[in-house]
Amino acid sequence: DAKTTQPTSMDCAEGRAANLPCNHSTISGNEYVYWYRQIHSQGPQYIIHGLKNNETNEMASLIITEDRKSSTLILPHATLRDTAVYYCIVSSTSGGSYIPTFGRGTSLIVHP
């Protein structure tokens, strides 16, 4: 079972910030939060991950609440090419290995 809940869909105007929330209230202390996105008929693309501190890279920013029960992925200036399904994943382990378990994700539509 996915350990996260996300809104089914969101929309955003091109050029504006897209803020995608994710709840992971059962996250444990050593589990990371990962974000991937999947553009239609392509493989998932890694975006960012974090443990407890906020993170930023060239694609996005990740804000994790202090209690780590939720996080927000921020695309600061959304473009039409950011239209995709965004998956928030909490690392689950199997024999010590990290295996991402995908939930339904959030379908983000960026409109002109």
Partner 1 sequence: GAVVSQHPSWVICKSGTSVKIECRSLDFQATTMFWYRQFPKQSLMLMATSNEGSKATYEQGVEKDKFLINHASLTLSTLTVTSAHPEDSSFYICSARPLGLGNYNEQFFGPGTRLTVL
**For partner 1, which residue of 4, 12, 18, 34 counts as binding (CB under 8 A)?**
34
Tokens representing 60 are 């996005």
Q: Is 47 exposed, middle or buried (0-12, 13-18, 19+ CB in 10 A)?
A: buried
Q: Report the DSSP beta bridge partners of residue 34.
A: 49, 89
Shorter beta-carbon distance to partner 1: residue 61 or 101 = 101
Radius of gyration over every alpha carbon of the chain, rounded to an integer in angstroms: 13
The reply on whether position 26 binds partner 1 by CB under 8 A is no
Size of the site for partner 1 (CB under 8 A): 24
Residue 32 CB, shortest distance to partner 1, in Å, is 6
- CB of 40 within 8 A of CB of 82? no
Q: Which lies closer to partner 1 via its Cβ, residue 46 or residue 76?
A: 46
The span of 20-28, 38-46, 53-61, 65-73 binding partner 1 (CB under 8 A) equals 38-46
